[in-house]
Amino acid sequence: MAGDNFDLDPSFTVLLRDLGIRPAQVLRRASLPGDTFARRPSELPIADYYRFWEAIEVEGRAGEGAGDLAVRLGEAISVEHFSPPIFAALCSPDLRTAARRLAVYKPLIGPVRLEIGAADELTITYRWPSGSTPPRLLATAELVFWVALARIATREQLRPVRVTMPSRPEHPAQLERYLGSRVRTGDDFSVVFTAADAARPFLTENDSMWRIFGPDLRRRLADLQATATTADRVRAALVETLPAGDASIEAVTGQLATSSRTLQRQLSQEGTSFQAVLANTREKLARHYLTRDDLRTSEIAFLLGYNDTNSFYRAFKAWTGVTPERARVGAGGGSAVRA
């Protein structure tokens, strides 16, 4: 993660009241100061942020499951509830662009990183901080958000083609009815849209508004990233550049607004190098991708920025001592060889 504190937007109070939930009661249950929403900036560390969402679930459930409350959140969302990073996504020309923008600025508003798949479909996968389990309501509401955003922006009842969670919701009927898709079990929280829906024009596109939001968001992100190590920042940048087929240091320095020489010096001071961070990032992503049955080995090579599958084979065997197919079988991702 780029930082340890995350912004709690004041518009949350409007959303909670629209749901019939008293903000003051949520703060009290979460053991947070009563003036939390009045502070600017109103930032919470991960533990407090999670407690805040757990308190919302307790205060708002009234006998319903986390999935049902997440649906109520999705149905209550309107433009006036959006924080600047999310509103910037709404100003995008389409859902794929919105996802890429929000992946960059998500660290400003939550302890999570987004991975955006580069295949024909639009896959949005959530990466939570290691060693932590997000509140069920928070993780479910994040998936519902993408459906709500797509419908608000296109004025169409778009449906994801796949939604996955590590375990099925207790009472999935209302959630699946809202999504228009069955919730599957998988390693991660993720939502997938067709290529056609990902490219469907946003009626809310507003490039002039984006040019207003963009500089401030970049400044805020730079402030947040000031506490991150250079290796952390390089890893985050690589997650964005690799699926586009660019594993070069130039692509990363372009993302981080620095020079190659400066970046290499900073990494050296941390006891590592660009090539080491690149290899480590590729290996971790490869191991994750190999647990998925819907990705061929050739597609994984593409997502990792390799020009050909053979280069990926050689690199993976150097990292692990086994072939990608052997690792896939060992990870339980299927027994068939997928080239």
**Residue pLDDT, tens place only, 163-184:** 999 998 888 999 999 999 999 9
For the chain, residues with pLDDT lower than 70 are 1-6, 40-42, 62-67, 79-84, 118, 130-131, 220-228, 330-339
CA-nearest of 205, 207, 238 to 103 is 238
- E strand segments, 12-139: 43-45, 113-116, 122-127
The pLDDT value given to residue 181: 94
- Angle made by CA atoms 140, 141, 147, in degrees to the nearest 5: 105
The pLDDT value given to residue 14: 80
CA 330 vs CA 249, 291, 335: distances in Å: 33, 9, 9
Count CB neighbours of 173 within 10 A: 11
The pLDDT value given to residue 118: 67
CA 292 vs CA 164, 165, 207, 258, 285: distances in Å: 12, 13, 36, 35, 11
- How many whole angstroms separate alpha carbon 199 and alpha carbon 212? 24
Q: What pLDDT digit, counting tens, does each position of 116-126 carry?
A: 986 789 999 99
The pLDDT value given to residue 264: 93
Burial class (CB in 10 A: 0-12, 13-18, 19+), 203: exposed
Show the domains of the chain with their CATH numbers. Answer: 5-198 (3.90.1520), 229-330 (1.10.10.60)
- How many CA atoms, within 13 angstroms, populate the side-chain half-sphere of residue 125? 17
Question: How far separated are the first and last CA of the chain, in Å rounded?
Answer: 33
DSSP, collapsed to helix, strand or coil, labels residue 67 as helix
For residue 265, give both structure tokens: 């010096």
